[in-house]
Amino acid sequence: MGSILQTLKRVVPLGMKRSIVGSRALRRLRAGRLARTSKRLDICAAQVAHLLHLAGGLSLAGKTCLEVGSGWVLSHAVVFHLLGAERVIATDIEPMAQFGLLREAVRGSTAYLVRDVLSPFEDHAAIRERFERLLAVRRFSRTALERLGIEYVAPVDIARRPLGRPVDFVVSLSVLEHVTVEEAPLLLANLAADLSPGGAMIHAIHLEDHRDMAARPMAFLSASGESFTPAVQGDRGNRIRASQWGEIFAAVPDTRHRLLYRWVRRDKPLPATIDPSVKYVDEEDLRTSHLGVLVERL
């Protein structure tokens, strides 16, 4: 299935691809694959634990958490529940969640790994008790998630206006690169407006060309600015480089930020030409593939 999707990304026109990928059957097929792989609960727990560790051991117990761009399988929202969040708000630009697939994501995970990787940030016995309750859920649905304190809000466009509800912790995982260059500062400012004093945001940003990340991770840097429409930015990534992300985060009102990690791709060549619309400072900036950023409300 993965190779088929990569072929679609390379050879099928964007409009046709959106129609194909948007079909209900294919969306469920892809979501099911994610539930068994990258959205499996133990994998998502490890990812969240890694970020919380880099951020200095943040505790989510008793807090209201907001996930931006929750995707098809709400596994990360469930992780925040396991960590003791009082309320979890999972959001997306359009309704796409496949609630029933959470059963596969939960039951396919290794229970002791979920408990162990999260235990530095919450009581181990409390995590075990919550996980056992998850295993007992026969059918995950919007109602079943609401009983756990997880609310699904979609469609919602936080780049246009704040959610309008106070939150203590915000997270986005490979989401900001799909926001247009113009909307990225607006989205972050609106998220900060909802953030409680002393609250925090963590954003994991993937800066590679999503059309072919393995073989040509920076190919999109050569595309003309005129051809890089909002739809293309949403599909391939917005091409915002690390230095420009630094400027965007520095401008978010009433916050401070620091870098959690910065990874660089040196195994693949850059395009022969870089389009003038791409803002960068040096080759390292162009080659940066991933950023993790912590933002704290003052």
Q: Which residues of 157-195 are buried (b: 16+ CB within 10 A; e: fewer)?
A: ebbeeebeeebbbbbbbbbbbbbbbebbbbbbbbbbbbb
Alpha-carbon span 38 to 33, nearest angstrom? 8
Q: Which of 23-37, 226-240, 254-268 has the lowest mean pLDDT?
A: 23-37
pLDDT interval class at 25 (50, 70, 90): confident
Total residues found in the chain within this entry: 298
Residues 126-148: pLDDT tens digits?
999 999 999 999 999 999 999 99
Which domains does the chain carry? Answer: 40-297 (3.40.50.150)
- How many Å is the maximal CA-CA distance in the chain? 56
- Cα-atom radius of gyration of the chain, to the nearest Å? 19
Residues 219-255: pLDDT tens digits?
999 999 999 999 999 999 999 999 999 999 999 999 9
pLDDT of residue 8: 44
pTM: 0.92
pLDDT of residue 28: 86
Percent of the chain scoring above 70 in pLDDT:
93
pLDDT interval class at 27 (50, 70, 90): confident
If you average pLDDT over residues 197-209, what whole number do you get? 98
Minimal CA–CA distance to 84: which of 53, 59, 109, 50?
Answer: 59
